Structure 1
């Protein structure tokens, strides 16, 4: 049987990079989507190859429709028919109160975290329904239900929208053989916290987490990999919280 071909957005670092490597270990060929760091994306692609898979790194701004179209075109040309999508690319902007958030920050967060997921999901759904099957996993956030007051309410709002998309799209695409689920991470030790301006944030949150520690990117990748796998063949429309109990 041919290997599954999975597109992972935001695949050059953090949860995305860990997901690419885990999927490769599970037998996937992977298209590594990235927006800036070509060297990091190529390193992840090399890791996929070392795990026995084929890989291609593709620069893509998921908020740009033409970029999304090219991402899937390159994936299919280089790897074969796309059978899976992990919508991982996301931005937060600086931590702070909503009233202080710049308009350009709000627009970029919505464009990447929601519009990007919509564009990628639509293209994947078009391809998957034509072939009669496929899997989409969205990376949401515990913020979708906690709201993240004083930190990034706008980010939380986009992730709540991703949860709604997950449920609705699962119902719409189920008859076409396409499963759609989401993973909602909590505080995970990745580079995202530094990008927000608070590199130690995940560890400072440990006291508020029942397991008393931040999560690791590999732990989220494991949940994504399960949802992508045949073991989850009867799971669709689920939002799986992987947040240490928070």
Structure 2
């Protein structure tokens, strides 16, 4: 399988000196985002739901870049956990100025006729309700009309929102379609508050989410449909996210960056 070595876009990037929350930050795209954001000067909160050891390792790596980093356990499908996450960041780091809504699940693979209400509900709660509530809490702190400093929100969507994922993950694709619409509307709503909202749409990326899907060899089976003829790395998605967080994208709002090799 062909691979690429991502260019380090943090070289020469203006230090942000902001405070960033990355949901689902202990692995995959989230962990790669924490690493690159720390290199760009962000203090970071690594949210995780189960694997404390991985989260602590990611945070330790961030601290080696000379920034502050904490971990906060919390299920982003729970409003109570979300409120506790933001309160902890308020107390230990300060006012959040960056949010990456990354936590998400595919749910079990299957056709619509075989889906259960529980599967659809769990996917929609974590993938849609969670980002809504996280963005709400971030906006309450960032909004200039409330005395905030402004900030940046980046939603992690998926190319599935446009492709539909038939026969496997229509429920997941629909949840990411909701995130795309959310990104468009929220970018317009929050721009006057000094808050930029954008999204990335990853394609076939080498992360643990595919193992959890229950479809062995899924990446290898689908890579033939990628014009670049390879899968992507979490770091390649993270580079797009960190660019959207930076001042280099200061006039970018309501935008989507497909990181999918042309798929």
Q: Residue 158 of structure 1 corresponds to which residue in structure 2?
A: 175
1:206-245 matches, cutoff 5 A: 206-245=223-262
Aligned to 1:167: 184
CA distance in 2, matches of 1:49, 1:39: 15
Which runs of structure 1 show a deviation greater than 2 angstroms over 4 or more consecutive aligned residues?
A: none
Residue 132 of structure 1 deviates from its aligned partner by 3.8
What residue number does 1:113 align with?
A: 127
SS in 1 for 2:181: helix
Paired residues, number = 246
The answer to whether the 8 A contact 2:16-2:41 is kept is: no
C-alpha distance in 2 between matches for 1:160 and 1:47: 33
Give runs of aligned pairs for residues 124-139 of structure 1, distance below 5 A.
Answer: 124-129=138-143, 130=146, 131-139=148-156
Find the counterpart in structure 2 of residue 76 from structure 1: 90
Output the TM-score relative to the length of structure 2.
0.91
- Give the structure 1 partner of residue 23 of structure 2: 9
Counterpart secondary structure, 2:103: coil
Residues in 2 aligned to 1:52 and 1:97: alpha-carbon distance in whole angstroms: 47
Cα distance between partner residues in 1 of 2:167 and 2:69: 40
Alignment partner, residue 100 of structure 1: 114
Indicate conservation of the 8 Å contact 2:18/2:96, yes or no. Answer: yes
Q: Which runs of 5+ in 2 are unaligned?
A: 1-14
How far 1:216 moved relative to its partner? Answer: 0.2
1:181 to 188, 193, 198: 198
* 3-state DSSP of counterpart to 1:164: helix
Alpha carbons 2:243, 2:249 under 8 Å: kept: yes
Q: How does 1:84-95 map to 2 (within 5 A)?
A: 84-95=98-109
Unaligned runs of 5+ in 1: none
What per-residue deviation string (whole Å, max 9, x for no partner) do you get for residues 6-53 of structure 1?
000000110001001110011101100111111111111111111221
> Structure 2: how far apart are the matches of 1:117 and 1:12?
17
Q: What secondary structure sits across from 1:33 in the alignment? A: strand
Indicate if the aligned counterparts of 1:205 and 1:214 stay in contact, CA closer than 8 A: no
Q: TM-score, normalised by structure 1?
A: 0.97
